[in-house]
């Protein structure tokens, strides 16, 4: 059993017997508790010892627990409560005696209601992951990246005296390192005019500043090499995890006339088309349905049974996916992975935060509207409120 909380819930550990007794008697006694290791499964707390160290729970006949086995039971009231337990004894009629090793209670109350939606009503699909990690330093360039770089060169070769599209590599001139580090375009419209060394706007490198105001040496080098105008533009790749990497560059030079700004922007627009093609080639989309174990305004908890995704997703910060409500068009969301665990069958359980600004406002509003509708549905099991 594996568990990883990337965003730890702030809790306090309860040691005092009187506080344990208060929590057990007032809030948890005769209540259903969720089993963390068995998503969607619950047990009922039937009894507790006077010192607050042991409890007896009742489980249904499909739940099997063995002496020595550890499990976490939780209940979310105004605050989250978790009992980390060990099975010490099997009792008749599917009852189990557990020792409470630790009792945690959240320091803050939760804001959102969390519900268990019906599986036939809403689910996750179209989970998008990368074939390979396209990073700023590629030792092996994928074939589809080479093809796209070459196609882009061919499209623009007739417009410029010199154009090269390639990945960054060690030993390059300082100009390339600056572009790679800043993810900004270096644009010198006229190498013999000092004002051309200043940034056009925030998306461009202020080369005069990088040269500490001394542009004379750079002007001399350009003149010696008969270069009238130069552009070094980063190729910035955004993967399904919303991670940006400058995977390469477009290097343009003119020895006949200055490169005008509008021609530069035309070339830049084509880089977006090239990046889209690379992303499409590098993205795997899993079209299987995956159940939502519970959901709130802040995110969802989903169960992943696909073996490839079980291997891939724990290594990612987040990913893009679609949420489907029955008889509706999908909502494309981006989520950050906050919690990773596995159940007894080896299925992956992911807690996903979808409250970030990367989601479109329209999809976000639809998600919240549908969630409100589900919360007001009397047949749903509301897990928490606050």
Are residues 266 and 149 both part of a single domain? yes
Let me know whether 149 and 208 are in one domain. yes
Q: Are residues 165 and 278 in the same domain?
A: yes
- The pTM is what? 0.60
pLDDT at 7 (0 to 100): 53
Where does a domain end: 282, 306, 326? 282
C-alpha pair distances (Å), 178 with each of 184, 187, 212: 8, 12, 14
Tokens of 11: 């809790």
- Same domain? 210 vs 315: no
Mean pLDDT on 58-73? 91
Do both 197 and 300 map to the same domain? no
CA distances (Å), origin 59, targets 69, 75, 130, 224, 360? 15, 16, 41, 83, 43
CATH code, 10: 2.30.110.10
Number of residues assigned to the chain: 386
Residues 261 and 328 in one domain: no
Handedness of CA 342, 374, 128, 237 (dihedral sign): negative
**What is the count of structural domains for the chain?**
3
pLDDT at 300 over 60: yes
Q: pLDDT at residue 14 above 70?
A: yes
Q: Which residues, including other chains, have CB under 8 Å from residue 141's CB and lie 6 or more apart?
A: 167
What are the tens digits of pLDDT across the range 342-379? 888 889 999 998 855 455 678 888 888 888 888 776 55
**96 & 197 share domain:** no
The answer on 276 and 291 residing in a single domain is no
The answer to whether residue 373 sits within a structural domain is yes
Residue 181 lies in a domain: yes
**CATH number assigned to the domain comprising residue 259:** 3.30.450.40
Q: What domain range includes position 91?
A: 3-106
Is position 369 within any domain?
Answer: yes
Q: Is the pLDDT of residue 138 over 70?
A: no
User: Distance between terminal CA atoms of the chain?
Assistant: 30
Give residue-wise pLDDT tens across range 197-247: 999 999 999 999 999 878 999 999 999 999 999 999 999 987 666 667 888
State how far the Cα of 28 lies from the Cα of 42, in Å rounded to an integer: 13
Predicted pLDDT at 9? 58
The residues pairing with 295 across neighbouring beta strands, listed in sequence order, are 115, 300
Nearby residues of 297 by Cβ (< 8 Å), 6 or more positions away: 111, 112, 113, 355, 368, 371
Residue 224 and residue 340 in contact, taking contact as beta carbons nearer than 8 Å: no
Of the chain, the percentage scoring pLDDT greater than 70 comes to 89
Cα angle vertex 121, ends 120, 126, to 5°?
85
């Amino acid at each position: 059993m594996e568990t990883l909380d990337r965003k730890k819930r702030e809790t306090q550990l309860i040691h005092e017997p009187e506080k344990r007794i208060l929590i057990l008697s007032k809030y948890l006694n005769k209540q259903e508790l969720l089993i963390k290791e068995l998503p969607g499964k619950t047990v009922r707390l039937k009894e507790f010892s006077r010192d607050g160290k042991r409890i007896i729970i009742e489980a249904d006949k499909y739940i099997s627990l063995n002496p020595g086995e550890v499990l976490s039971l939780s209940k979310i009231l105004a605050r989250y409560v978790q009992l980390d337990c060990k099975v010490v004894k099997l009792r008749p009629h599917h009852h189990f005696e557990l020792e409470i090793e630790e009792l945690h209670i959240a320091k803050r109350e939760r804001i959102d209601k969390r519900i268990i939606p019906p599986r036939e009503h809403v689910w996750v699909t179209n989970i998008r992951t990368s074939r390979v990690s396209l990073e700023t330093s590629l030792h092996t360039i994928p074939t589809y990246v080479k093809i796209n770089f070459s196609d882009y060169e061919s499209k623009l070769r007739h417009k410029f005296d010199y154009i090269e599209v390639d990945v960054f590599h060690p030993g390059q001139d300082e100009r390339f390192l600056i572009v790679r580090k800043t993810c900004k375009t270096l644009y010198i419209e006229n190498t013999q005019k000092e004002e051309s060394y200043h940034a056009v706007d925030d998306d461009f490198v202020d080369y005069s500043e990088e040269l500490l105001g001394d542009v004379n040496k750079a002007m001399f080098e350009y003149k010696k090499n008969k270069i009238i105008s130069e552009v070094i533009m980063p190729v910035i790749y955004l993967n399904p995890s919303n991670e940006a990497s400058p995977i390469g560059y477009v290097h343009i030079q003119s020895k006949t006339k200055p490169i005008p700004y509008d021609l530069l922007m035309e070339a830049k627009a084509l880089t977006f088309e090239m990046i889209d093609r690379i992303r499409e080639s590098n993205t795997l989309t899993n079209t299987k349905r995956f159940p939502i174990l519970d959901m709130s305004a802040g995110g969802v908890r989903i169960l992943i049974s696909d073996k490839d995704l079980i291997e891939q997703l724990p290594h990612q910060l987040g990913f893009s996916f679609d949420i489907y409500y029955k008889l509706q068009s999908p909502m494309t969301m981006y989520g950050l992975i906050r919690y990773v665990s596995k159940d007894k069958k080896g299925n992956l359980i992911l807690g996903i935060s979808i409250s970030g600004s990367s989601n479109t406002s329209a999809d976000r509003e639809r998600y919240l509207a549908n969630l409100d509708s589900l919360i007001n549905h009397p047949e749903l099991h509301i897990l928490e409120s606050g």
